[in-house]
Amino acid sequence: MNTIKILMGISLTLAAAAEWSEPQEVRMRRDHVLTYRAMLSGNTLIIEAVHEDGWHSYAMDNIIRAREASGKEKPDCELPTRIEVSGALSIAGSWHQSDPSDLSNTDIKWYTYGFEGVAYFAATVKRGEGDDAIIQIDAQACNDSKCSMVDGLELTLPMTDQEDDVKAPIDLSMLVEVEVAAAD
């Protein structure tokens, strides 16, 4: 009887885990920097970024926020997170992201905004042809002494395993809409 309960628990855990894509780690030498994964909840693509302690990455609208804070057309700031979607999904609405923290150093007039801990990105999508959606992420992740570039990290999200009634792991209304400048 206990064996059945244990096996049922494992089965339920595996079913819940199948909703997410395989996670992709970002490393800098031996250091684990952050991990990305993606899932589909109805017609919303959700991307999760989990930062290791002491590491952070930057908002999709980091340049616009730095422009507004500094008053400079071309502010000095870290590179924003960029996400491109191809394959069996295409973006059909605006991107939304967790509300970024102000990581600026106003003493040196350096304005930048980003995420520590867990951050989410989401967009309405429409399904197309194909078995997989490909999500490509470019970003910059830093700690107090070094930065790691995320160049072309790819998440593969199988469409065959996705169901329309998968519940989002977060309250999507807590995310803020992203405005990305044309020059970004």
State pLDDT tens for residues 119-147. 999 999 999 999 999 999 999 999 999 99
Q: What is the pTM of this model?
A: 0.85
Q: How many domains does the chain have?
A: 1
Q: What dihedral do alpha carbons 3, 5, 8, 12 form, nearest 10°? A: -130
State pLDDT tens for residues 96-126: 999 999 999 888 888 999 999 999 999 999 9
- 150 near 139, Cβ under 8 Å? yes
**Residue 10 belongs to some domain of the structure:** no
Q: Residue 112 sits in which domain range?
A: 39-177
Q: Report pLDDT for 135.
A: 98
Any domain includes 114: yes
Render pLDDT for 38-82 as a digit per residue (tens, 0 to 9). 999 999 999 999 999 999 999 999 999 999 999 998 888 899 999
Q: Which residue has the tokens 């500094």?
A: 70
The answer to whether residue 84 sits within a structural domain is yes
Quick check: is 50 in a domain? yes
Residue 127, in any domain of the structure = yes
The domain spanning residue 150 has which CATH number? Answer: 2.60.40.1250
Domain-located, residue 21: no
Answer whether residue 61 is part of any domain. yes
Task: Please give the pLDDT value at position 6.
Answer: 34
Burial class (CB in 10 A: 0-12, 13-18, 19+), 136: middle
